[in-house]
Structure 1
Amino acid sequence: MRTVGSDRGGVVTAPEQEAGAVVFPPLSRDRRVQGWIFSAAVSQIGDVAWYIGLAWSAAQVTTPAGAGLVMGIGALPKALTLLYGGALADRIDARRTMIVANLGRIVVLSLAAVFIGIWGVSLPLLLVVAVVFGAVDAIYGPAAGTLPRRMVHRDDLVKLAAGNQLANRLAVFVGAPLGGVVVAHGGLASVMVVDAVSFAVIAVALAVVVKPRLPQPASSGASVLVDLREGFGYLRRSVSARTLVIAFFGLNLCVGPVLAVGLVQRTHGAGWGAGSLGLFQACSGIAAAVGALLAMRWKPRNLARTGLLVLILQAAGCAAIGVVPRGGVFAAMAAIGFTAGLASAQLSAAFQQTIDPAYLGRTSSITSLSDEALMPVAMTAFGFLISATSVGVACVAIGAAFAALMLWSAARMNIVD
């Protein structure tokens, strides 16, 4: 057993708002943490199955352009709602917010399944579901980002992040084929039921098992808008918090386009076939699991700097994808996956340790904007860069920019606010 004390080792630490001594059991015996990881993995299985079912159903009822609209339109309301969701997470109880958001997702999916049973699958229905679902997701995500720091001892944050990542990787392997089988035999309504059940599992776990041990510091603003302004003000004041947010933006916007656009273009242009693309992705997934396992055992003194420097190897992998032969692409994808598994756990823990607990929800939502609002722009820009130059030039350019940003960020993490 461990109690909360005054340990401040590792990265720059935000003020702790912890009342009294709190006992933290070892993670191997912590039923709250185990319940959190298990329920999150179940939810991820449902999400992946839903994504597969939605994509397949959209392809059946509309044109490729319409299918693309269905898969992408949910990002717009999610991006617009994220900042509000972050302020809400810092303002009211995060666990209750997550439970309500999950119940909202269950209602959306259940009603949609009923409508499909009556009128069948249609493009307008898919668009409405994607929009509403995206908005509810934006409420859930920032609230979930505040829980780890309130559940485990700061020294166990890396293990918790690595355990979540391993569970999510396994969930993807299970959820993808499950979604394909369910939509093929039961249609989209059946996939919606599967996803709704997964949300019910995590809602029950949050209500019964997953109970934070530390109090949630409530924001003191007069309104949500005031809280939002104060959230950006916090980033202006805190060098370490601002540096991590910038680094996360760069990480998402550099790696995402290379894997989603560059790898596909390289595989297609070289004539390696779709089978090779699947093998590349599998190689990365396996390597990521190995990296996460290493993160559970390796305890560097400065989590943030170590994680950022590890990502320089990931940047090299991004550059290599565009220029090396087929065997080299496997090595590059292994490097990208391994560093993702290792650095993601380290940086996730560093984020929880560095950000002031009162601003975790707002800072998490700002970080998520790179995925939801800016990723489509980054994908498009990277595609234009490939068209103007070549896959090799584009991958090397973005890899070099990625490495430079990680070096800059690692240097700034030595600065004490």
Structure 2
Amino acid sequence: MTRERMPKGFTAWVAATVGADLGSGVLAFALTWVASGHGPNAAAAVLTLTVAPTALFGLLGGAVADRYGVRRVMIACTLALMLISTGLALVVTVWPGTPITLLVAAAAIGTVAAFHRPAIGVFPRLFVAGAGLGTAMARVGVASQIAGTIAPPLGGLLIGLVALSGVAWIDVLGCAIMVVVLLCIRPPLTPAAAPDAVTARGIIDGLRTARRTPGIPTLLLCVGLIAGAVLPAVILGIPLAARERGWSAAEAGLIEAGWIAGGLVTGLWFSWRGIAVRMWRPMTAGAVVVALGLGGLASAPLWMPAAASTCVVGAGVVMFTAHAFPTYLLLAPARMLSRFQSLLVLVQRAPQLVIAPLVGAGVAATSTGPMLAFAGVLALFAAFIVASDATLRSFTSATSGSA
């Protein structure tokens, strides 16, 4: 493991990420909490509509970034999120927290995210290519985790103080900070534009190349399994478990913050010391740790052991992703970075389209415990798949790439 010095402009973007992610995180918690007050099915519907546009437009989003440039797409998407949050703040002032308002806001945010997320995921590689990419991505992850640690408890507090409208204005401020920073910085590495990317042939070529690249299909499958296990469990399972087990909104926020806090500690280590050389080992171990944490959350009767369990989940997730994501980008061809990244985002989000409605229906019929235990089994399956792939077992963080 080695320490890395990042290029000029990268640190400013990472700092702005804290503000932007804090605003979006507070708003996400507030939307889910307000929706859960209308019942588990309403909460599941809000989560589903946040995710569904990724499945519909995610591949197109990656193609757009390859065609027009990652930075331009990030600026446009951040401006769009500002408009959405402004509209939400104004609407809920008149019609506070109605289900239709929550659903429309979730769908709008999800649609922008379909174009935004592939660009964000590629952006670190425009500053660093090669062995330092893992460190750069870990530092971005730490910034997001700092915001994520603060956002849920802050969201639980603010939803009672300033209501949903006030939370939406906070998101507007975070987006404004990010737009200013993006306008001021220029990444040193800029891939050549791919004029044919935003065509049916360009999108299909990206899919075919991903399928044929050794190690990529396995990474996509395992990321999908981890995301399908963790995201519904944390985003939807915790608010539902809180209402089921008598925890308050503030306690639910602290529990949800636990998985980010656990990831933050782990991410700080990787951002300072760098990632492991043999990437597959921490990927496998991370998936096992995730499973253990989800098992603890499934059986926790009180909020404090539940928060401890989510800390374990967060540590395992970052242990896995800090090595899986750089491996994925280093294996991707430079001319298809955003299209490959859109696939990665798709497999993180698409499983929730199936799992989130099942969670809502399952919790309504039984309880949150069995759902969380099943999520742990999915994580164990991912660990087995990583350990079985010959390409990933031979891949090291010394592999270099170029933008």
- Interval of TM-score (by shorter of Structure 1 and Structure 2): 0.7 to 0.9
TM-score (structure 2 length as normaliser): 0.80
Alignment deviations for residues 229-259 of structure 1 (CA, whole Å, 9 cap, x no partner): 0111111221122222222122222344555
Shift of 1:135: 0.8
Counterpart check, 1:294 vs 2:269: yes
Cα separation, partners in 2 of 1:175 and 1:412, compared to 1, 3 Å: closer
**Match status 1:38 vs 2:15:** yes
User: What's 1:137 paired with?
Assistant: 113
- The alignment partner of 2:176 has SS state of helix
Aligned equivalent of 2:205: 230
Mapped partners of 1:102, 1:261: distance in 2: 25
Q: CA deviation at 1:169?
A: 1.9
Pair 1:148 & 2:148 matched: no
CA distance in 1, matches of 2:276, 2:382: 22
Describe the SS at the equivalent of 1:234. helix
Query: Separation in 1 of the partners of 2:207 and 2:28?
Result: 33
Give the conservation status (yes or no) of the 8 Å contact 1:88–1:224. Answer: no
1:208 to 2:184 alignment:
yes
Match of 2:399 in 1: none
* Deviations 1:74-125, CA, capped at 9 Å, x for gaps: 3223321111101111111110111011111212222343444566654433
Query: Which deviates further from its counterpart, 139-148 or 309-318?
Result: 309-318
Q: Check conservation: 1:90, 1:218, Cα contact below 8 A.
A: yes
Residue identity opposite 1:184 in structure 2: G
Q: Equivalents in 2 of 1:121, 1:90: separation in Å?
A: 38
Q: Distance between the aligned counterparts of 2:165 and 2:236, measured in 1? A: 31
Deviation at 1:225, TM superposition (A): 1.6
Show the counterpart of 1:9: none
Give 2:89's match in structure 1, choosing from 93, 100, 113: 113
Report deviation, 1:413: 4.7
> SS at the partner of 2:162?
helix
**SS of equivalent to 1:216:** coil
Matching of residue 163 in structure 1 with residue 142 in structure 2: no
Corresponding residue of 1:26: 5
Match of 1:5 in 2: none
Q: CA deviation at 1:195?
A: 0.7
Unaligned runs of 5+ in 2: 397-403
**Which residue, out of 81, 99, 102, partners 1:126?**
102
Amino acid of the residue matched to residue 308 of structure 1? M
Provide the aligned C-alpha RMSD in A: 3.9
2:389 matches 1:409: yes
In structure 1, distance between residues paired with 2:34 and 2:375:
33
For 1:374 and 1:168, how far apart are their aligned partners in 2?
22
- Describe how 1:327-366 pairs up with structure 2 within 5 A: 333-366=310-343
Q: Which amino acid aligns with 1:40?
A: T
What displacement does 1:314 show? 2.1
Structure with larger Rg: 1
Aligned residue pairs total 388
Change (3 A) 1:399 1:133: closer
Percent sequence identity is 21
Q: Is the Cα contact below 8 Å between 2:283 and 2:321 reproduced in 1?
A: no
Aligned residue for 2:378, secondary structure, equals helix
Change (3 A) 1:279 1:94: closer
Matches within 5 A, 1:239-278: 239-256=214-231
Q: Name 2:45's counterpart in structure 1.
A: 69
* Partner deviation per Cα, 1:156-187 (whole Å, 9 max, x = no partner): 22222222222222212332344344443333
Task: Indicate if the aligned counterparts of 1:320 and 1:328 stay in contact, CA closer than 8 A.
Answer: no
Question: Deviations along 1:279-301, whole A, 9 cap, x unmatched?
Answer: 76555444322221222315433
CA distance, structure 2, for counterparts of residue 181 and residue 375 of structure 1:
27
Letter in 1 for 2:388: W
Structure 1 regions of 5+ residues with no counterpart? 1-24
Partner deviation per Cα, 1:318-377 (whole Å, 9 max, x = no partner): 575389888998876554332323332222222222211222211221122233322242
8 Å contact from structure 2 (residues 127, 188) kept in 1: yes
For 1:222 and 1:165, the matched residues in 2 are separated by 28
2:400 aligned partner:
none
**What one-letter code is carried by the residue in structure 1 that aligns with 2:172?**
A
Give the Cα separation in 2 of the matches to 1:323 and 1:222: 44
- Relative to 1, partners in 2 of residues 1:317 and 1:409: Cα closer, same or farther, differing over 3 Å? farther
CA distance in 1, matches of 2:200, 2:336: 14
SS at match of 1:217: coil
TM-score for the superposition, normalised by structure 1: 0.77
Deviations 1:119-175 (CA, angstroms, capped at 9, x unpaired)? 665443333222222111211111112211111242322222222222222212332
The Cα of 1:391 is off from its aligned counterpart by 6.8
C-alpha distance in structure 2 between counterparts of 1:237 and 1:253, whole Å: 24
Question: Is the Cα–Cα contact under 8 Å of residues 313 and 336 in structure 1 kept in the other structure?
Answer: no
Distance 1:132 1:177, change over 3 A: same
Secondary structure at the residue paired with 1:249? helix
Higher mean alpha-carbon deviation, 343-352 vs 224-233, is at 343-352
Cα 1:328/1:231, change in 2 over 3 Å: same
